[in-house]
Structure 1
Amino acid sequence: MTDVLVSDAPEAHRFEARDEAGELLGFAVYDVVGRTVVFTHTEVDPRAEGHGVASTLVREALGAVRESHRDVVALCPYVKAWVARHPDYQDLLHRA
Protein backbone atom coordinates (compact mmCIF):
# COMPACT_ATOMS: atom_id res chain seq x y z
CA MET A 1 0.00 0.00 0.00
CA THR A 2 1.26 3.48 -0.83
CA ASP A 3 1.31 6.34 1.63
CA VAL A 4 -2.08 7.31 3.01
CA LEU A 5 -2.82 11.03 3.03
CA VAL A 6 -5.57 12.18 5.39
CA SER A 7 -7.38 15.48 5.10
CA ASP A 8 -10.48 17.08 6.52
CA ALA A 9 -13.33 17.68 4.07
CA PRO A 10 -15.58 19.84 6.26
CA GLU A 11 -18.09 20.49 3.48
CA ALA A 12 -18.71 16.72 3.38
CA HIS A 13 -18.45 16.33 7.19
CA ARG A 14 -15.73 13.75 6.94
CA PHE A 15 -12.03 13.07 7.06
CA GLU A 16 -10.79 11.40 3.89
CA ALA A 17 -7.91 9.00 3.29
CA ARG A 18 -6.43 9.09 -0.20
CA ASP A 19 -3.48 7.48 -1.89
CA GLU A 20 -0.68 9.50 -3.51
CA ALA A 21 -2.65 9.64 -6.79
CA GLY A 22 -5.63 11.17 -4.98
CA GLU A 23 -7.85 8.08 -5.09
CA LEU A 24 -10.26 7.90 -2.18
CA LEU A 25 -9.40 4.93 0.05
CA GLY A 26 -11.73 5.61 2.97
CA PHE A 27 -13.48 8.18 5.10
CA ALA A 28 -14.64 8.87 8.64
CA VAL A 29 -17.94 10.76 8.84
CA TYR A 30 -18.54 13.24 11.65
CA ASP A 31 -20.92 15.88 12.95
CA VAL A 32 -19.85 18.86 15.01
CA VAL A 33 -21.90 19.75 18.07
CA GLY A 34 -20.45 22.80 19.80
CA ARG A 35 -16.81 21.94 20.41
CA THR A 36 -17.39 18.19 20.11
CA VAL A 37 -16.68 16.10 17.02
CA VAL A 38 -19.06 13.14 16.85
CA PHE A 39 -17.69 10.32 14.68
CA THR A 40 -20.60 8.32 13.28
CA HIS A 41 -19.21 6.04 10.58
CA THR A 42 -15.90 4.89 9.11
CA GLU A 43 -15.61 3.13 5.78
CA VAL A 44 -12.64 1.81 3.77
CA ASP A 45 -12.69 0.65 0.16
CA PRO A 46 -12.61 -3.18 0.21
CA ARG A 47 -9.50 -3.12 -2.03
CA ALA A 48 -7.64 -1.17 0.68
CA GLU A 49 -8.77 -3.20 3.68
CA GLY A 50 -6.06 -4.85 5.74
CA HIS A 51 -3.44 -2.24 4.83
CA GLY A 52 -3.78 0.07 7.83
CA VAL A 53 -5.90 2.66 6.04
CA ALA A 54 -8.60 2.84 8.73
CA SER A 55 -6.06 3.04 11.53
CA THR A 56 -4.13 5.82 9.80
CA LEU A 57 -7.36 7.64 9.00
CA VAL A 58 -8.58 7.57 12.60
CA ARG A 59 -5.18 8.46 14.09
CA GLU A 60 -4.83 11.48 11.80
CA ALA A 61 -8.45 12.57 12.29
CA LEU A 62 -8.10 12.42 16.07
CA GLY A 63 -4.82 14.31 15.82
CA ALA A 64 -6.62 17.08 13.92
CA VAL A 65 -9.33 17.16 16.58
CA ARG A 66 -6.66 17.45 19.26
CA GLU A 67 -4.95 20.30 17.44
CA SER A 68 -8.26 22.18 17.23
CA HIS A 69 -8.78 21.82 21.01
CA ARG A 70 -12.05 19.95 20.60
CA ASP A 71 -13.20 16.66 22.08
CA VAL A 72 -14.70 13.49 20.61
CA VAL A 73 -17.75 11.28 20.90
CA ALA A 74 -17.11 7.94 19.19
CA LEU A 75 -20.45 6.54 18.02
CA CYS A 76 -18.67 4.73 15.20
CA PRO A 77 -17.73 1.23 16.42
CA TYR A 78 -14.34 1.36 14.69
CA VAL A 79 -13.37 4.73 16.18
CA LYS A 80 -14.61 3.60 19.60
CA ALA A 81 -12.53 0.40 19.47
CA TRP A 82 -9.48 2.26 18.14
CA VAL A 83 -9.55 4.77 21.00
CA ALA A 84 -10.00 1.92 23.50
CA ARG A 85 -6.78 0.32 22.15
CA HIS A 86 -4.83 3.60 22.28
CA PRO A 87 -4.87 5.07 25.79
CA ASP A 88 -2.94 8.15 24.67
CA TYR A 89 -6.05 9.28 22.75
CA GLN A 90 -8.62 8.68 25.50
CA ASP A 91 -8.14 12.20 26.82
CA LEU A 92 -10.02 13.36 23.71
CA LEU A 93 -13.23 11.63 24.76
CA HIS A 94 -16.04 13.99 25.69
CA ARG A 95 -16.81 14.06 29.41
CA ALA A 96 -20.42 14.82 30.27
Structure 2
Amino acid sequence: MEPSIRNNLATHQFETEVEGKTAYIQYKVKENVMTVLHTIVPKELEGRGLAAAMSTHVLQYLAEEGMQVVPLCPYMSAFLKKHPEYQHLIKN
Protein backbone atom coordinates (compact mmCIF):
# COMPACT_ATOMS: atom_id res chain seq x y z
CA MET A 1 0.00 0.00 0.00
CA GLU A 2 1.31 3.43 -0.97
CA PRO A 3 1.65 5.85 1.92
CA SER A 4 -0.47 8.98 1.93
CA ILE A 5 1.97 11.89 1.59
CA ARG A 6 0.98 15.50 2.11
CA ASN A 7 2.76 18.80 1.72
CA ASN A 8 2.45 20.57 5.07
CA LEU A 9 3.02 24.18 4.00
CA ALA A 10 2.94 25.43 7.60
CA THR A 11 5.95 23.32 8.63
CA HIS A 12 7.68 23.19 5.22
CA GLN A 13 7.71 19.44 4.99
CA PHE A 14 6.24 16.58 3.04
CA GLU A 15 5.02 14.03 5.55
CA THR A 16 3.36 10.70 5.97
CA GLU A 17 2.00 9.11 9.11
CA VAL A 18 2.28 5.37 9.73
CA GLU A 19 1.29 3.65 12.96
CA GLY A 20 1.10 7.00 14.76
CA LYS A 21 4.65 7.99 13.74
CA THR A 22 5.51 10.70 11.21
CA ALA A 23 8.19 10.44 8.54
CA TYR A 24 9.00 13.64 6.68
CA ILE A 25 11.17 15.52 4.21
CA GLN A 26 11.94 19.05 5.39
CA TYR A 27 12.54 21.78 2.82
CA LYS A 28 12.69 25.47 2.11
CA VAL A 29 11.63 27.23 -1.08
CA LYS A 30 13.04 30.36 -2.64
CA GLU A 31 12.43 31.63 -6.17
CA ASN A 32 11.03 28.38 -7.59
CA VAL A 33 13.86 26.27 -6.09
CA MET A 34 13.25 23.75 -3.32
CA THR A 35 16.20 23.03 -1.05
CA VAL A 36 15.72 19.62 0.59
CA LEU A 37 17.22 19.81 4.07
CA HIS A 38 16.44 16.51 5.81
CA THR A 39 14.74 13.18 5.28
CA ILE A 40 13.61 11.74 8.61
CA VAL A 41 12.10 8.27 9.11
CA PRO A 42 11.51 7.11 12.70
CA LYS A 43 13.52 4.00 13.57
CA GLU A 44 10.33 1.96 13.99
CA LEU A 45 9.39 2.68 10.36
CA GLU A 46 12.76 2.10 8.70
CA GLY A 47 13.04 -0.47 5.92
CA ARG A 48 9.53 0.07 4.57
CA GLY A 49 10.46 2.26 1.61
CA LEU A 50 8.97 5.43 3.10
CA ALA A 51 11.98 7.63 2.32
CA ALA A 52 11.97 6.46 -1.32
CA ALA A 53 8.21 6.96 -1.64
CA MET A 54 8.41 10.46 -0.17
CA SER A 55 11.40 11.36 -2.37
CA THR A 56 9.56 10.21 -5.49
CA HIS A 57 6.50 12.22 -4.41
CA VAL A 58 8.57 15.36 -3.84
CA LEU A 59 10.36 15.07 -7.19
CA GLN A 60 7.11 14.47 -9.08
CA TYR A 61 5.64 17.52 -7.32
CA LEU A 62 8.64 19.63 -8.40
CA ALA A 63 8.34 18.43 -11.99
CA GLU A 64 4.62 19.26 -12.08
CA GLU A 65 5.25 22.71 -10.60
CA GLY A 66 8.19 23.48 -12.91
CA MET A 67 10.55 23.82 -9.96
CA GLN A 68 14.15 22.75 -9.36
CA VAL A 69 15.80 21.03 -6.39
CA VAL A 70 18.96 21.55 -4.37
CA PRO A 71 19.53 18.27 -2.49
CA LEU A 72 21.40 19.20 0.71
CA CYS A 73 19.97 16.08 2.35
CA PRO A 74 22.31 13.07 1.91
CA TYR A 75 19.38 10.71 1.32
CA MET A 76 17.85 12.87 -1.43
CA SER A 77 21.25 13.33 -3.03
CA ALA A 78 21.82 9.56 -3.12
CA PHE A 79 18.26 8.98 -4.38
CA LEU A 80 18.83 11.38 -7.27
CA LYS A 81 22.04 9.58 -8.26
CA LYS A 82 20.10 6.30 -8.49
CA HIS A 83 17.22 7.84 -10.49
CA PRO A 84 18.49 9.58 -13.64
CA GLU A 85 14.92 10.38 -14.71
CA TYR A 86 14.98 13.23 -12.14
CA GLN A 87 18.42 14.67 -13.01
CA HIS A 88 16.87 17.52 -14.99
CA LEU A 89 15.34 18.87 -11.78
CA ILE A 90 18.70 19.49 -10.06
CA LYS A 91 19.62 23.17 -9.86
CA ASN A 92 23.10 23.79 -11.26
TM-score, normalised to structure 1, is 0.89
Number of residues paired by the alignment? 92
Q: Provide the alpha-carbon RMSD of the alignment.
A: 1.4
**1:25 corresponds to 2:22:** yes
Question: Of the candidates 30, 34, 47, which is equivalent to residue 44 of structure 2?
Answer: 47
Q: CA deviation at 1:33?
A: 1.2
Name the aligned partner's letter for residue 17 of structure 2: R
Gaps of 5+ in 1: none
Corresponding residue SS for 2:10: helix
Ranges of 4+ aligned residues in structure 1 off by more than 2 Å: none
Gaps of 5+ in 2: none
Aligned partner of 2:7 in structure 1 is 8
Q: CA deviation at 1:37?
A: 0.3
